[in-house]
Amino acid sequence: MAESGPGFGARLRARLSGHMQLLTLAVVPVFWLGTRIGMVADVSIWTLLGVLFTAQWTTAIAYALWPGRQSGWRLFLRVGIQQWSILLVMYAIGWGPTLAIGLLVGVADNLRESGSKATLPALVWSVAGIAVGQLAIAAGVAPSLVPEPLVHGLSVLASMGVGFTILLLGWTTAEKEAAEREVRASEERFRALVQHSSDVTMVVDADGDLTYASPAFERVLGYDLAEELGSKAGQLMHDDDREALARSAVASSEFAPHHTGRAELRLRDATGRWRWFDASVTNLLEDPAVHGIVANLRDIDERVADRRALAEANARFRSAFEDAPIGMALADLDGHLFRVNTSMANLLGYEAEDLLGVHVSQITDPQDRDSSGSEMRRLAAGEIDAYRLEKRYVHADGHSIWTSLSVSLVRSSDGEPLYQIGQIEDITERRAISEQLTHAAIHDPLTGLPNRTLLTDRLGLALERARRNGGQIGVIFLDLDRFKFVNDSLGHVTGDELLKILGDRLRTAMRPSDTVARFGGDEFVVLCEGMEGTAAIMDVAERVADVIASPVSVAGQEIFVTASLGVAVSSQGPARAENLLRDADAAMYQAKDLGRARVVLFDEAARIQAVHHVQTGTELHHAVERGELDVYYQPMVALDTGLVTGFEALVRWAHPVGGVVKPSEFIPLAEETGLIVPIGLWVLEEACRQIVCWQRMRNGCKPLSISVNLSARQLAEPTLPDELENILTRTKVDPRTVVLELTESALIGDTESASRSLHALCDRGVQIAVDDFGTGYSSLAHLRRFPIRALKVDQTFVDGLGVEPEDTSIVTAVVSLAHSLGLEAVAEGLETPQQLAALRTIGCDFAQGYLFGRPQPARALGDRPADDLQAWQPADC
């Protein structure tokens, strides 16, 4: 490899111009003097000069040829040339081994030039040279000022001295080289570290000028280092940080030499962005190797961003926690609260600090401690990560608060459970509402009694218990008799009041374990558990009937109500709630059919009758469609003349299997189902058409009237007046001959539309008669409100005429009432001549009854109904 640096000539010149050459020049006169005084062997001065300069030049050439850190043969040769040059001089002047010290000059020169590698050649050449020199003396070739054999002994000593000294110098040089190598290695290591370090190292002098920056300066900050060197380093720093740094220890007197200060600061990078660094600043101004303040800057931009994000997240959490509208709390895994927000504290009526350290169980309602505690233990054990439950806490003032609680477990980054976080929402109000709703869903709003749903449920449970424990269950189905009358005549408010009072009575009359429920309308059901035998249940039912039957005082008046009760008793075998209810219901219907105000124990016959009742309803639908209905006519007779003045139209059902069915058997059903509306209109049209027909045949006779019954349900139909108008138009009947019979209750029905309808009917010219008068609750005021033509005294009063003084008085009173109001009086259900006589005495105007004739179909009367009663005698309905 070619040597770099100056060439051969330059090296030779440099070598020859050195101080060694001056030394050589100085030696020449010394040698000359030495020869004069016999201190140097007798050699000509020119020879000496020649030897000296040859030695000097040869050595200089060898160094110029193979300079520096040579090795191998070149080094060996160069060392040899120099040592032999010195040896030549030593032996030429006759001093031989006594000048061996001169060899060390050459050794030192070689060691300096090539290092410890020169040790061996120096040793070899020096010792060998002395040996050759001694041989030359011995051979008489070389002069010697020291006599023989002394000179040989000296040469041995000189060899040893030179040898050891060479070795010593060699070792010293080797050590120095090792130390230098170490320094170099460490420098290189340092350089490599600095080179590759991501930390920026900057050195600033006492004036603040940048004197050094590590390569990371360019990499991290993006500047061109060459441009920045010499500029003020502080310019790179953020104003705030510079001021902060100026105030900090780094700028104070404490920042003494070799002291280090730390700070976090921002430096602007080449793009203009501020980057965060962790700076470690050391004052090395007095260190001669540095002469500056060294700043080691670690890029912590990401860390600061993370820290800020964390701080922001913490702040967000803190504010979300503190300002949360719902209660929030942190508790350790044992359940001790260590952080509580204001909402939570407010919820529980404490100050937040008072709750710190409190165990959750201390503020939990005792009833919920178990459930809440077991969930918490599972969470703390890491079995679950979260749970939700509705639980009660105890408020500071002692009352319980219903809350919805959700708790989740917070784990460390390595999954270890740390603590729990709970969110608590006050649901006391919601619970109350939902309890109210639940209560409302299973209770009757009017009486507060359980409703059908709750009773059915309880009945199911009771049956289950009875199956396990024995005992019987009684179900009493209770329906108030003629409650509709009360409602229609005294108003719904009174009706409701009555139901409430009866509900209360029933509740207090029964055992707490029994259930009294209202099934809607005027129906109540009593459920009795643990009964022994049917007789015991029947006793209870009788007692219930008595409770209902005792007079009730509502709104200042006494009302008497009775009830029809059906009783069903659970059998030994499995029973279903709905079957038991159905049976009790069927028995109740039977009680109604048997004349109301009684208790009937369910038997199979009752069930069949109930089934029949349902079937009838279905069949009635078909009856209307199939034209199975018929109209019968019963004459009405003027008592003063004995002549027929008109007819009452009475509907019949010609059942294809059961024969003629009376209205009492299907009219209530038709009213229940609403079928009465089309049936009633059909009867009205049929009757009008018939009377027009008869009238036409009687040509010129006094017009006959036709009375048609109208149920309250029909009156409630807003279309009734128009329908009537149509019928009147279609049949061309004289409206004045049409009498619509309404019961007292229908008449005084308090609905607006009923009243409007009634007036609309009167406007069309038809007449109104009050049917079954005396059985309802109408008042004189009601009677005066409408254009009524007649009052029909109910059959029940007519029955006792002439027999029961009370009935005679009632009929007398009704007739005189009618007359005093300017109305006609009609007696219904006249059966005996005695009754007829009594009516005549009383002064009743008209009568109808079996005595004059039973209702008959028009076809049975032939073409022409006689004015007298002959035509009616044989016929029957």
Which is nearer to ligand C2E, 406 or 795 (by Cβ)?
795
Closest CB 674 distance from Mg ion, rounded Å? 20
CB of 601 to Mg ion, least distance (A): 33
Cβ-based neighbours of 163, under 8 Å, separated by 6 or more: 123, 126, 127
**At its nearest, how many Å lie between Mg ion and the CB of residue 700?**
29
Residue 350's binding partner among Mg ion, ligand C2E, none (Cβ under 5 to 8 angstroms by kind) is none
**Residue 218 or 630 having the CB closest to Mg ion:** 630
Minimal distance, residue 721 CB to ligand C2E, in Å: 17
The phi and psi torsions of 566 (rounded to 5 degrees) equal -115, 135
Cβ-based nearer residue to ligand C2E, 63 or 797: 797
Residue 744 as a binder of Mg ion (CB under 5 A): the answer is no
Tokens standing for residue 186: 């460490």
Neighbours of 12 (CB within 10 A): 18
Size of the site for Mg ion (CB under 5 A): 5
Q: Are 452 and 444 in contact, with CB atoms under 8 Å apart?
A: no
What does the angle CA 644 – CA 638 – CA 721 come to, to the nearest 5 degrees? 75
* Interface residue list for ligand C2E (CB under 6 A): 634, 650-651, 662-664, 667, 676, 680, 683, 709-711, 741, 771-772, 795, 828-831, 848-850, 855
Name the residue number minimizing CB distance to Mg ion.
741
638 is written with which tokens?
A: 């003027």
* Shortest Å distance, C-beta 706 to ligand C2E: 12
Q: Least distance to Mg ion from the beta carbon of 717, Å?
A: 19
Nearer to ligand C2E, 580 or 687 (CB): 687
Stretch that binds Mg ion, among 261-269, 559-567, 735-743, 782-790 (CB under 5 A): 735-743
Q: Which of 771, 807, 845, 867 binds Mg ion (CB under 5 A)?
A: 771
662 binds, among Mg ion, ligand C2E, none (CB under 5 to 8 A by kind): ligand C2E
> How do beta strands 472-480 and 515-520 pair?
unpaired
Out of 488, 583, 828, 867, name the contact with Mg ion by CB under 5 A.
Answer: 828
Q: Which is nearer to Mg ion, 528 or 742 (CB)?
A: 742
**Rounded to 5, what percent of the chain is helix, strand, coil?**
55, 20, 25
Partnered with residue 422 across adjacent β-strands are 329, 407
Q: Which does 488 bind (CB under 5 to 8 A by kind): ligand C2E, Mg ion, none?
A: none
Please identify which residue in 113, 241, 299, 772 interacts with Mg ion, judged by CB under 5 A. 772
Q: Looking at 570-643, which runs of residues are DSSP E strands?
A: 599-601, 629-638
Cβ 151 vs Cβ 97: under 8 Å: yes
- Dihedral sign from CA coordinates of 833, 836, 838, 841: negative
Map tokens 């038991």 to a residue: 580
Q: Residue for token digits 């039957």?
A: 549
Please tell me the distance from the alpha carbon of residue 535 to that of residue 161, in angstroms, as a whole number: 149
Based on CB atoms, which residue is closest to ligand C2E, 584 or 710? 710
Only one residue has tokens 């920056």, namely 213
3-state secondary structure of 765: coil
State which of residues 616, 709, 737, 856 lies at the interface with Mg ion (CB under 5 A). 709
d(CA 381, CA 96): 100
Q: Which of 375, 479, 529, 741 binds Mg ion (CB under 5 A)?
A: 741
Contacts of 237 (CB under 8 A, 6+ apart): 245, 265, 266, 267, 268
Least distance in angstroms from the C-beta of 752 to ligand C2E = 22
CB of 684 to ligand C2E, least distance (A): 8
Write each residue from 165 to 184 as x if it is in contact with Mg ion (CB under 5 A), else as -, in one continuous string.
--------------------
Identify what 542 binds: ligand C2E, Mg ion, none; CB under 5 to 8 Å per kind.
Answer: none
Closer residue to Mg ion, CB minimum distance, 295 or 636: 636
CA–CA distances in Å: residue 97 to residues 52, 134, 248, 252, 680: 17, 8, 72, 69, 168
| In contact, 420 and 409? CB cutoff 8 Å | yes
Q: Give the C-alpha separation, 269 to 523, whole Å.
A: 91
Minimum distance of ligand C2E from residue 694's CB (angstroms) = 18
Site for Mg ion, rule CB under 5 A: 709, 741, 771-772, 828
